[in-house]
Amino acid sequence: MNDTGVVNNLYLKLSREHEIVLNFFAPAAKLLKAKKFHELFELLKRTEKDLSQHIQRHFHFEEEVFFPAVLLENASIDSVRLVLKLQKEHGMIERDLRQVYQIIHSPIMLPEEKQREVLSLYRDLNRDVRRHARTEIQTLFPLLDQGERGRIQTFVSESFKRLETNTGLPVPITER
Ligand SMILES: [Fe+2]
Ligand SMILES: [Fe+2]
């Protein structure tokens, strides 16, 4: 596959994974807006395992493949700062999500207390996740589109293979 194919595949994979993750957030955000807390908590409990896994895998993939590929291709003060910021946001998103689940499962918090906490936490989380995904696609991804692509092709192809071997997880893209 040529360089364009490799970069397009990476773009496709990231876009698809963002869509999957954002699709978890959208119905919950609607219930939150309508203050339907009972349905919201039930939905969050039902999707907890899947969402956590998706997010964990996606962040792992970005930190192992996407971010290093950008830095290999376009190392500058700005791109390094951006990658560090996005990586830090991964930690914050995971922490906030964990906190939401802790509140929902808390055996000691009162229902009103849970509702109040989740209302502000989840609203911010929903906004942060969307903003984060937009920055990756709109600001970080175009940095891969500049200059010599040979290194990127090798790096991304090898990373896909390595991740599959190490984690046993298939990389769900059309072609590699
Ligand atoms: Fe990310
Ligand atoms: Fe992402």
The domain locations on the chain are 3-167
pLDDT of residue 162: 78
The CATH label, of 1.20.120.520, 1.10.3720.10, 1.10.3470.10, 1.20.1250.40, for the domain at 3-167 is 1.20.120.520
Using the mean position of ligand 1's atoms as its centre, give its distance from the Cα of residue 173 in Å: 18
Residue-level pLDDT at 176: 35
Is 76:136 a contact under the CB 8 Å cutoff?
no
Reading the chain (176 residues) residue by residue, the pLDDT tens digits are: 555 677 788 888 899 999 999 999 999 999 999 999 999 999 999 999 999 999 999 999 999 999 999 998 888 999 999 999 999 999 999 999 999 999 999 999 999 999 999 999 999 999 999 999 999 999 998 888 765 566 777 777 788 777 767 766 555 444 43
pLDDT at 175: 40
The reported pLDDT for the residue numbered 173 is 44
Closest listed ligand to the CA of 54: 2
What's the 109 CA to ligand 1 centre distance in angstroms? 32
Task: Give first-to-last CA distance, the chain, whole Å.
Answer: 7
- The number of angstroms, rounded, from the C-alpha of 1 to the middle of its chain's C-alpha atoms is 26
User: The whole model's pTM is what?
Assistant: 0.87
The predicted pLDDT at position 38 comes to: 94
pLDDT of residue 169: 56
25 φ, ψ (degrees, to nearest 5): -75, -35
pLDDT, position 16:
93
Measured in degrees and rounded to the nearest 5, phi and psi for residue 174 equal -70, -50
Instruction: Give the Å distance between the CA of 163 and the centre of ligand 1.
Output: 17
> Which residues surround the ion ligand 1 when the cut-off is CB under 5 Å?
62
Q: How far is the CA of 136 from the centre of ligand 1 (A)?
A: 7
Rounded to the nearest whole angstrom, what is the distance from the C-alpha of residue 49 to the centroid of ligand 2? 18
User: How many CA atoms, within 13 angstroms, populate the side-chain half-sphere of residue 19?
Assistant: 6
**CB of 69 closer than 8 Å to CB of 147:** no
Q: In this structure, which ligand is nearest to the CA of 17? A: 2
DSSP per-residue letters across the chain: --HHHHHHHHHHHHHHHHHHHHHHHHHHHHHHHTT-HHHHHHHHHHHHHHHHHHHHHHHHHIIIIIHHHHHHH---HHHHHHHHHHHHHHHHHHHHHHHHHHHHH-SSS-HHHHHHHHHHHHHHHHHHHHHHHHHIIIIIGGGGGSS--HHHHHHHHHHHHHHHHHH------S--
